[in-house]
Every structure is written in C-alpha cells, then in structure tokens.
Amino acid sequence: RSVEEFNKGHVENAINIPYMFKTEEGRVINPDFVSQVEAICKSEDHLIVACNSGGRSSRACVDLHKSGFQNIVNMGGGYSAWVDAGFVGDNPAQHLKTACKFRL
C-alpha cells in the first residue's frame, strides 16, 4: 500500500513496503521492492501481502515468488475487505485466512 493508504489505517504490527509509488505519470513499480523485503525477511518466512483491494499485492506476490519466497499469502480483497468484515488489530478472520491463499 502507498504510505498515504497505510497511514490511514493498517493491520496492527504490519510492515509497509510499497510495491508501487504514485507519480505524476501514474503508479510505477517500486524498483527496490524485492530488495527491501529481502532486507527484513528471509525467503522461508511466512508473509501475508496486502494492498487496498488485492490487485497490487497479487503482483507483488508474483515478484516475491520469482525471487525465491515460497510462503506467500495474498490477502484477498486487501485491507478494504478486512475493514468491511469488521476486523481491526491483528486477528485475521478465519474466512480471510482461507480466501487469502496465493496460487501460482
């Protein structure tokens, strides 16, 4: 999620590494995204990747998988679905755990 989106609200204890940046030309992929993730996560770590609605995070998951990360989950529906489901904090709903499975 963008810094602005993240600052409006996020899952407790989440770490934000934007996959894309907003520019005058539109959104562009963060060229350092994978290296920024690698700086704080190991390839065997279990990661839940989220954006606002699920599209950007799905693309981020593909890039992470190509870079060797194997335990990746895309939060289906993103943070918006989390909020719409009435959840706050760091307790994922059981149905979100199921809906978030990332498949290649």
Active-site residue (options: 41, 51, 61, 100): 51
Determine whether 41 is an active site residue. no
For residue 26, which phi and psi values (nearest 5 degrees)? 120, -165
Answer whether 44's CB lies under 8 Å from 70's CB.
Answer: yes
Answer whether 77's CB lies under 8 Å from 52's CB.
Answer: no
For residue 19, which phi and psi values (nearest 5 degrees)? -80, -30
Residues that are catalytic? 51
